[in-house]
Amino acid sequence: MTSHLDRAVLFRSLHVPGEPLLLPNAWDAASARVVEAAGAPAVATTSAGVAWSLGAPDGDRLGRDLALALVARVVAAVDVPVSADVEGGYADDPEGVAETVRGVLGAGAVGVNLEDADRTGPAPLRPVEDQVARLAAARAAADEAGIPLFVNARIDTFLGGGGDLGETLERAAAYVEAGADGVFVPGLTDLAAIAALTGKVRAPLNVLAGPGAPDVAALAAEGVARISLGSAIAEAAYTVARRAAVELLGAGTYTAVAGALPYPELNQLMTRS
Backbone φ/ψ region at 84: left (φ over 0), alpha (ψ -120 to 50), beta: beta
* Structural domain for 140, as ranges: 4-230
Q: Pick the closest to residue 12 from 200, 174, 199, 204 (CA basis).
A: 204
In a domain, 20, yes or no: yes
pLDDT > 90 fraction of the chain, expressed in percent and rounded: 95
In a domain, 105, yes or no: yes
What pTM, to 2 d.p., does this model score? 0.96
In a domain, 13, yes or no: yes
pLDDT at 223 over 80: yes
pLDDT > 70 fraction of the chain, expressed in percent and rounded: 99
In a domain, 93, yes or no: yes
In a domain, 236, yes or no: no
Taking residues 154-180, report their average pLDDT: 94
Q: What is the pLDDT of residues 95-128, one digit of tens each?
A: 999 999 999 999 999 999 999 999 888 899 999 9
In the chain, how many domains are there? 1
In a domain, 258, yes or no: no
The Cα angle at residue 3 between residues 154 and 230, in degrees rounded to 5: 25
Taking residues 140-149, report their average pLDDT: 98
Whole-number Cα distances in Å, 61 to 58, 120, 225:
6, 11, 30
What's the first-to-final CA gap in the chain, in angstroms?
12
In a domain, 171, yes or no: yes
| Strands 111-115 and 82-85, bridge-based pairing | parallel
Taking residues 20-24, report their average pLDDT: 98
User: What pLDDT does residue 200 have?
Assistant: 97
User: What pLDDT does residue 273 have?
Assistant: 57
In a domain, 272, yes or no: no
User: What pLDDT does residue 100 have?
Assistant: 98
Q: Pick the closest to residue 184 from 214, 213, 151, 217 (CA basis).
A: 151
pLDDT at 32 over 90: yes
Phi and psi angles of residue 83, each rounded to the nearest 5 degrees, phi first = -115, 135
| Bridge partner list, 207 | 227
For the chain, helix, strand, coil in percent to 5 are 50, 15, 40
Q: Which of 37-46, 55-64, 93-102 has the lowest mean pLDDT?
A: 55-64
Q: Where are the beta strands (DSSP E) in 89-160?
A: 111-115, 150-154
CATH number at residue 33: 3.20.20.60
